[in-house]
Each structure stands twice: as C-alpha cells, then as structure tokens.
Structure 1
Amino acid sequence: MTAFDPDWLPRAALLIVDMNRSHLDHEMGHLLVAKPDADRIIEAAARLRSAWRAAGLPVIFVRTHHRYDPTTGTVVDNKNPFWQAQHKRPIPGLNRERKTLAIEGATVTEVVPQLAPQPGEHTVFKHRYSPFDNTDLGLLLRNLGTETLVICGVNTNNCVLCSCFEAFNRDLRVVVTPDVCASMNGPDYHEAALKLIEAALGVLVPSDEIIAALPRAAAA
C-alpha cells in the first residue's frame, strides 16, 4: 500500500467537492448528509482549509448547478437517462424523493457559510459528477502546476469518487481525507467508496496528518 509522503504537498491543490447547502445545511437542504456527519465534515474542512491557505497552497471549490428554463419549467443540463428515470423516486439511504433543486443561482448551490470561498480561492461549476467534464478544472490545475489533488467533500460515493477516477485518469496523484467526506446515502455507501479509492485510485490520509505536514510544504 502506498504511504503518504509530505513531499507531495508543495505541488498539491485542495479540491473541496460539493460542500453546499443542499447537502449540509439542515435548515434548507434536501439531499442532506446526516446532521452529525455534516457538522463533523464542516468543522474538519474548515480546519484543513485554514491550514492549507496558511501554507500558501491553492484551494479549489467544486459546485454543482444546472441551467433552468422558466418558459418550459425544465432543467436544461440534466438529461441523463438514468437520472431522469430516478427523478421523484426515493434516494437509497435517504428516503427522500430525488428532485433537481440545484439550479443556477439557487441558494442551495452555495458553499455552506462556514466554508465560503475567500479571495484568492477558485471555484469550478460542474453539471455532472465529474469536476472535469466540460469545465476548466484541467486548465486551472495545469496553470497551478498541480501534481497532487487532496480531495474532500460530498457525496463520497458519487462526486468524490468520480473526482478521484477523473484525477487518476489524468495522471494526478490522488489523496482523499476520509474524515472530511460523507454521503447522503449513508455510512455503508461512504465506506464502500473509500474501499474502492484505496484499492485502485489513491491514498486515504486523515486531515490532521495533512495539516501536520503543511508547515514543511510552506517552507519548501
């Protein structure tokens, strides 16, 4: 099993995936991670992001939203046949029906206030699970000189997992912080995704271990 090497960090970027109000804000969200998990990953992500910024390393937020046509009452970007077939059906592990509320400009698409992007940080908007599909993330990472992606966020078993596959396929080193990830589908789906990542895509490293290594990266 590959071990984490702090020497990866000077050419790393932190990718924060879909830490939005839809998943984490229990006052307005719909596709919600369980409240204890939401509180845990928000707190852990805030610590990691703060230390990452202090080290002078790039922070990238990934947000999902879809274009909405009010003249037809339909979402333009979300035409995947499987997704359409699942619309208004119960979401596994969540027991809520699937709805597309993440339309462009909707409050639920915002990053939760505790993690609101700060000056100098980057945001990429996606329309699918992949943060690379029809976005400028690849160009951004090339311009930043990124060789390693440290990935965290929601949901572990779709958008986080897909981010790992896509990064792997682009020859980026993949590091995932499991304590800063969660799934609206529940812990079984979260753990299954982490097993796949560790087996085939990258390394799992607790956020505290990365935070402890950041001063060395800042000095590099």
Structure 2
Amino acid sequence: MPATKPVLVLVDVQNGFVREQSAHAVPVLVDLVTRWQAAGADTVFTRYFNYPGSPFERFFGWRQLQSSPEVDIVEALKPYAEKATAIVDKRIYSAFTPEFDDLVRSHGWTDVYACGIATESCVLKTAVDAFERDLTPWLIEDASASHAGPAAHEAGLLVARRFIGPGQVIKVAEVRQPGGEAASVPDTT
C-alpha cells in the first residue's frame, strides 16, 4: 500500500457559524486537532469571508461574515490555528482555493480529512473537491455540524456518501493515525 500523507482541514469554525445547532462540534474539533497536532501532522484552518455583491448576498440576501468578530476562528480553536500549517482565507464554499491547491502540491498531501461547519456546504464541497482532484477524501461526520441544524447536517452526509463514497464518511474514532499506520488518532493523554 502506498504511503499516505494526510492533512486535517478544519473548515470555517468561525464565530458567525457557531450557533446553538453547531456548537456541539467545537469540543470534538478541539480534541481531534489537539491529538492530530501532537502527532506532528499537518492541519489547515479555513476562514470564509463574505463580501458586498457576493453570490451569497445576491442570491440569498445573506450579508453576514464580512468582518470581525464574525469571521474570526472561535476562541477555543485559536491556539491550534496559530500552530497550523496554514490558515486559508476563502470566498467560496471549498477549501480548494489556489493557495490551498499550492499547499496540497508542496506538502504532498494525499488524504484530506474534512471537518467543521457546515456539513452540507463548505465541508461537503471540500471533500468533493478533494475527490475530483484524485486525492482521498474523508468527511468526519461527528466533527462536523450545520448551523442550519441536524436535518441539514444529515442531508450533507447523505450527499457526501453519494459523491465521495459511503466508506469515506467516518467518525472521529475511525480517523487513521497521521502516517496511516493504525486506526484512530493517537491518544496523547
């Protein structure tokens, strides 16, 4: 089996997206990224920035996430973002901006573990874009949530299973150790 090089992508865990319906994912993400970074593996955080005249404003009438504090990464994850391989700012659903594409190439990442907010949009689009770039996509369902609630989260998981494969939607307990040797991110406690 060829060697894999994973990256954990924490998608848009920003103040403007963390609400009652999605806040439960934050402690799961903190635990996951703590262990991932302790194992010495690469992490990327994304931040979505809306802008005047964006498609979100034009088609949805949505004008949020244009400035701080809405665009800021949630407080619980800021220390991990500061230690991340990169923070990628984006104006699209996917993490796959030209900057992120360059990071994938330069780091040789083969597996993209996507998690964060929102399952049915930005996390899903990141996983699908990884699939379409011939990378191995993983969507971590219990480390993802939707600020639109559980029905939107479940819809995202359903579509992900159809788009990237049913076995590619996993739980935190199924995440392969960075380096690919064993199941589950190592417990460093």
- Calculate the TM-score normalised by the size of structure 2: 0.84
Do residues 59 (structure 1) and 43 (structure 2) align? yes
2:73 maps to: 111
The answer on whether the counterparts of 1:60 and 1:122 sit within 8 Å (CA) in structure 2 is yes
1:210 maps to: 175
Pick one of 43, 48, 57 that aligns with 2:27: 43
User: What pairs up with 1:165-184 in 2 under 5 angstroms?
Assistant: 165-184=128-147
1:15 maps to: 9
Q: Deviations over 1:33-79 (max 9, x none)?
A: 52xx41x2111101110111111110000101145xxxxxxx15x1x
Pick one of 81, 87, 92 that aligns with 1:123: 87
Tell me, in whole angstroms, the C-alpha distance in 1 between the residues paired with 2:131 and 2:94. Answer: 12
Pair 1:85–1:210, CA change in 2 (3 A):
closer
The answer on whether the counterparts of 1:33 and 1:183 sit within 8 Å (CA) in structure 2 is no
2:121 maps to: 158
Q: Return the letter of the residue paired with 2:94.
A: S
- Calculate the TM-score normalised by the size of structure 1: 0.73
Tell me, in whole angstroms, the C-alpha distance in 2 between the residues paired with 1:180 and 1:8. Answer: 27
Alpha-carbon shift at residue 162 of structure 1 (Å): 1.0
Alpha-carbon shift at residue 209 of structure 1 (Å): 2.8
Alpha-carbon shift at residue 129 of structure 1 (Å): 0.9
What secondary structure does 2:76 align onto? helix
What secondary structure does 2:106 align onto? helix
1:146 maps to: 109
Do residues 198 (structure 1) and 161 (structure 2) align? yes
Aligned length: 179
The answer on whether the counterparts of 1:63 and 1:126 sit within 8 Å (CA) in structure 2 is yes
The answer on whether the counterparts of 1:177 and 1:207 sit within 8 Å (CA) in structure 2 is yes
Structure 1 gaps of 5+ residues are: 1-6, 25-31, 68-74, 88-97
Q: Give percent identity, aligned residues only.
A: 25
* Aligned-residue CA RMSD (Å): 2.5
Alpha-carbon shift at residue 188 of structure 1 (Å): 1.4
1:137 maps to: 100
Pair 1:189–1:101, CA change in 2 (3 A):
closer
The answer on whether the counterparts of 2:46 and 2:89 sit within 8 Å (CA) in structure 1 is yes
Q: Deviations over 1:161-202 (max 9, x none)?
A: 111121111111011110011112221121111112122214
Pair 1:120–1:196, CA change in 2 (3 A):
closer
The structure with the largest alpha-carbon Rg is 1
